[in-house]
Structure 1
């Protein structure tokens, strides 16, 4: 039997999501999450086959969590483990596709940490720990930003002095690339059109949210920019605000950059608008109960989402359809309904019953008859990372 298993690792600053993925059939024989690492409450949650278990790992770090993971991976994988694929948030302009992590790639990922200080160092922790535990296996980095490296200059450049781009790398990079890549390819397959001859608008909606215009399988514009703060209203992120807001808050309230950064990234978005929660499920229930803040938050979220999708349509010569994905995109009947209501100019209209059916992992078309295609496509970033990892290893061996 050909080797087909890839261990996918997604390291955060205090957590690790992991999955053993069979790239032959897309199954996950093992997956789970280690959380609260480097604390007395560190724990690993496992799903192994049809069994669930929790393993305490007091004060365990990334290496300890991965060391606990190793025996279970070996049990399931045997000699079928091909490689370990790592989600890396930021590749800057150095990476346009997945790559085996050698010394040069390691340095480049480290250098990009200035652009993603909360993410890349954690991603490197996972790479280093896995390399120590699996020294014979290729470590492959799959970048959130790589899919968007096909953006043309007129889409990725800011109207700022040239030196800020050439010397500091200040440009639009985009994120959620793995998800947008996966769901638009699935959408093309569902509609029976070739990926390389298709045109999609994609909305990845979760606690972090972004939109993307994908033409012939390539990203041509996206809503997130230099950082994941740009673009849509999100769970706790403001999305787009007037750049002069920083100056106003500094002058009028005496706020420093750290305080303003906290406001825009952790206190705004759905949470800030509603004064209640960053969770769309909570807000939808509160809206049904007449909560004014929740109602406003949902309306702003959907209008700004529709506005972004309409703007990104400028990058496409035609539209094969709109894709909703992510926790909100896959499950919120209301958000899809309110968003599409703002997009009638694009001949987009929902079928209410189809829309209601597509929740909880159910995919499919939700458009009304005569409308352009609107699809709900559950994302599967772990599978996409695994497939790119395997392809990278096969290319290396060729």
Structure 2
């Protein structure tokens, strides 16, 4: 009996050990991950501003070369390089002494011509009544009239010479033809200046206010815009009145809104683009000619457009994708065609439809095919 009891206890102990080992070797149960929370917006087509961004280059409203009209030695410069000057301000002085001498000589010739004219007039006045009384011959009368006419012509020529000499003397003081900013001096003081050729160029004046921004758009852009206008999907601003905004190289936005004031009527055969220009006020001189800027044109309104935040678009190599949520809350990627817009928004021209739910936040936690917990966010209102 005692042996039987020991045997039963031994078997019981062995079963306990086996049960414990089996429990230790049992794999833990796999827990399912809860659906990741994501923010989505529901697509609702609406009218949005239609804009186009391009690269432009600033240019002066007027660039005028200041040139000498007479030859001579450049005596002095009377302005500070790179500073603003006013129209009519004296900028340079060329040695006036040779032109003073020429003017004095011309005045002397004029005095002599005036004396000859007085004598010829007196001779004509004396001989005219004598000719009427047949006291002098026809030849003497004709000679007196011819001498008078020649004296008049000589006097007129002498007067013209005086005016020319006075004008040349005035040209020895080179003045600013327009108001604006001067560039670097082209000729130093003491140089021999010639009215012809490059030595006659003294400086350049640029009018900065207003300022032009030159840019180009493609022939394809023009055709697509005209097609969209005909189909009614785009409503352009009345009379082609296109406001323009500038973004500078540092990313800042120029505070003044400009206006497109020129578009060429032909396509450049070398580039396939059409030249255009906008004009901006530049009263503080913040813009300088030759700057590269980004110019955004406000063309009008895009009808029934699909606009989503730019952060919702994922780029995969050369394609663009957006992550959508289907009726079972599963993530479905959709390829889209985008058109840049403003204020952090992009326009979807292909790939999405009204009612689609697009993930705008939490894409990293929502791989394709996974189940998510969508939270609806209201779409941003389109800016007017």
Q: Higher strand proportion, which one?
A: 2
When Rg is computed on C-alpha atoms for both structures, the one with the higher figure is 2
Higher helix proportion (structure 1 or 2): 1
Length-normalised TM-score, structure 1 = 0.20
Higher RCO, 1 or 2 (CA under 8 Å, sep at least 6)?
A: 2
